A and B are shown apart, each in its own frame.
Chain A
């Protein structure tokens, strides 16, 4: 989801060559850039955009899984799902905080999300239609997120890298938990196994799209690689994900919905890997541009929560104001 964070990123900079060279030297020496350090405007903008989109993905990502909390099939699964969705909210919180160090407020970012200006990962614009989706999301979506985020733990921007270290630990727990839901269903009744296959059928391709466009079509990737915001290309990460995931699907006894999927000895520099069929990029761009099944509903739900909560936030502010005023009055007396 985080490579999608670079779609439309504007990394152009207007600083002097000497300044940019000095900055690049720091990056090349693997020094961490901290919020108070001088940095090119393009670097700052790219990070605000990427971290913001990542944060929004965590928050909007609470909705498809939240859709099943009240229908979770056992108390244990319900508690685990609640805790998982809560973790995602926590990730959103650290990420907003990391973006705030770059001089943008959470309010501002929220408004950009609600107005449609800021994006979030396309995967969350697909609906969750059966319980197995809770398994498949953990397994595939958190799994893809980990592939993207492990390299981000070494991102050149310190606060983002540090947030990712903490987040990755939780994402890998989510991934295992999701896989375990799948395993339980695949070993359950025929209907349960059918649910699991259905979830894989619907989520496989959208999960591959989480890595963003092909390298050849990824306009801003090069600059981000140079700045070490990004360490691997979209296609490299996607390949890694497929190679790790296909054997897991086989172990579950599920069929990956790609008739062209086959082992190819020549991939990964001769180490071999899975060649895959064509990704439907028209669908990808349609969803990114706002026309997926759930895009409108997701933003509507976020907007409703925000609007319905306005009076609560106002009350908290007003109360804090009243308290402060009373305190100064008491001090004056």
Chain B
């Protein structure tokens, strides 16, 4: 049971990073300025690195000889366990940056707390990731401020992004059965504890950006049960195409 819970919780976390990395990678070559092509790619690279570490660890925990790629490329939508926030489409630069800020502001205290995990591999991944997400917060946060306190158009777009995305943030704080088990065992942080730090990170940024988080709208939840929106299936179809077309080939 303990291993099964850790396996499932690691896959949730790995899927979050894999899917968000993929979304960021979709920008490569199409960003508003060359510097952002580089920055978005940087964040995509950080996140794919984290995903790989987590999938490999999950595969080891499972001990059935599956690889990181088997986990990433050979599961279908219903088996994917990422939260809904990360699969949201890029839409525009405002959506992309706000999504990144929401996620990074959660992951920063998460990794911070995972530094004291009882699992050595998790401590290692946390040590690397905690520095990376601090940069993601800074980078995405600066853009949110520029857009919120920029032109009329940029403010309007950022507000639209807030309307679209805030309903997916609640899910970050929900612990699946597996995640809850791992939190009690001291393997992974307790997600339900992190709301305050998350808000402390976001509040000053949103104040500068003249941005408010709507309240009283029912949240959207379901990713940890494999209940996704329609976009994820298309993402996976693209991502998994070669592995599906050439079963068993190595690349």
Contacts and interface: CB of A to CB of B under 8 A. Distances in A.
B100 to A, nearest CB: 14
Interface of A is mostly: helix
9 contacts: A62-B29, A86-B28, A89-B37, A305-B31, A309-B93, A312-B33, A312-B154, A313-B32, A319-B147
B72 A75 contact: yes
B207 to A, nearest CB: 15
Interface residues on B, range: 35 or more
Interface residues of A, number: 46
A202 interface: no
Nearest 10 interchain pairs by C-beta: A309-B32, A315-B150, A315-B154, A66-B29, A312-B32, A73-B242, A73-B251, A62-B29, A86-B41, A319-B146
Residue from B31, B32, B154, B241 having most chain A Cβ neighbours under 10 A: B32
Contacts of B36: 309, 312
Contacts of B170: none
A71 B42 contact: no
B33 A313 contact: yes
B157 interface: yes
Contacts of B238: 70-71
A318 interface: yes
A114 interface: no
Interface string A299-333: 00100110011111111101100100000000000
Interface stretch (A2-10, A14-22, A76-84, A137-145): A76-84
Q: Is the interface of B mostly helix, strand, loop or mixed?
A: helix
Interface centre among B41, B51, B72, B239 (most CB of A within 10 A): B41
A128 to B, nearest CB: 12
Nearest to B30: A305
B9 interface: no
Interface stretch (A157-165, A184-192, A206-214, A267-275): A184-192
Interface string B209-240: 00000000000000000000000000000110
Given A62-B28, A70-B238, A308 B52 contact: no
B49 interface: yes
Interface in B13-61: 18, 22, 25-26, 28-38, 41-42, 44-45, 48-49, 51-52, 55
B96 to A, nearest CB: 10
